[in-house]
Structure formats: C-alpha cells, structure tokens
Amino acid sequence: MGRFVYAMQVSLDLRIEQVPGDNGAGEWLRIHEELHREANARTRALSLLVHGRVYYEVMEEFWPRAHEDPTLPDYMHEYGEIWTSKPKILVSRTRRSAGHDTRIIGGDDAIERLAALRAETEGGIGVGGAALATQLLRAGLLDELLLFTHPSILGFGRTLFDDYDRPVDLDLIEQRSFEQGVTLHHYAVVDAKEAGAC
C-alpha cells in the first residue's frame, strides 16, 4: 500500500503563501541549492504525484520548460525533468486534458478513487495543494507531512490546511537542518485510516 506524503515549504506559522498567487515564489522563502537538491532526490523517489488543479497549473506553467532556460542552474533543470516525467494524477472537476504523463480524476468520488489508488500503489505518493491535502486529511488518508520550514513569521496568508479544526497526532520521523535556517520536519500522521476504511 502506498503512502500519501504532503510536502510543502512553510513559514514558522505554517503559511504556504503570504498573498494569493505567491505560488512558491514569496520573498520569505530561502530556497537554495542544497535544499533544492534535497527536494529533487525526494521527488525522484516518489512513485507518483497527485496534485490539485491550482497547484498542478503552477507546476505545469514552469517546470516542463525549465530545461530550456540557460539562466537556470542545473538542479532546477533536473527538477523540471523529474516533474515532467513522473507519473501524475490531476484532481480536477474542470480540466479535461493534461500532458506530461498526467491522468485526471474528477467528480464526487475523487477521494474514494484516490483511496483505491493508494491501496494499489507501492511507495510514496506526493501530494501537492492545500485543498487536496485537507480533503485527504479529513478522509483519514493523509499518511505523512514533509515540511521545509523557513525562518519567517508571515502573520497572514494561506495556511497549510484549509479550515481543519480537529486535532491530529503526529510522530516525528526525521529532522534536518539546511543553510539559511531552513529545517525539515518529516512526520507520520498517527491516526490515518487504512485505505478503504473511510
């Protein structure tokens, strides 16, 4: 059985963007080569990526063409190749087509279909998008959090989860420090249900 892993860059107050449209490019982020190479390795190790529409469209807009930009460093070219070639699921009610080895799941049964996908997949399944991660958490399907925490308190903006109001116990799996004060905290969600139990 696979594991849904929600990986995200966050501030100390668990914000993922300060203003709408930051899309991973906020000035508060301290993304550098060491951190990017770590993200590359972890993304490469995943079996599959599952993205919500907004998150997917941000990724789709930039990464497939990253290798064509000579001003970008090699580790960004590498991530572009990893993202473009990795099998992906786009969860969307509105999109009808997508490229880059992407298949679409939509409709009212999307979470049930993702539960079945989790049951038949081996290894980690990367989750992209706060709305999708919140739905998986509510359904008891989110297995792990992989948070790259940046030393900033934003005070406002989009949070890691949308309107989630129940306590969740976590176990720390690993912890690591990077340059410029960024830390990695990798947690297991203790009360994630087994696939099919929801």
Using N-to-C axis directions, what is the helix angle for 130-138 and 110-120, rounded to 10°? 80
Using N-to-C axis directions, what is the helix angle for 74-85 and 33-45, rounded to 10°? 20
pLDDT digits over 35-46, tens only? Answer: 999 999 999 999
How many CB atoms sit inside 10 A of residue 143's CB?
22
Q: Look at residue 197 in the predicted model and tell me its pLDDT.
A: 41
User: What does the alpha-carbon distance between residue 31 and residue 29 come to, in Å, rounded to a whole number?
Assistant: 6
pLDDT digits over 115-127, tens only? Answer: 999 999 999 999 9
Q: Look at residue 43 in the predicted model and tell me its pLDDT.
A: 97
User: What does the alpha-carbon distance between residue 83 and residue 62 come to, in Å, rounded to a whole number?
Assistant: 10
pLDDT digits over 10-55, tens only? Answer: 999 999 987 766 655 678 899 999 999 999 999 999 999 999 998 9
What's the fold here for domain 2-189? Dihydrofolate Reductase, subunit A (3.40.430)
Structure tokens at 152: 């900033």
pTM for the structure as a whole = 0.90
Q: Look at residue 23 in the predicted model and tell me its pLDDT.
A: 54
What are the sequence ranges of the domains in the chain?
2-189
Structure tokens at 62: 């930039």
Average pLDDT over residues 140-151: 96
Q: Look at residue 178 in the predicted model and tell me its pLDDT.
A: 96
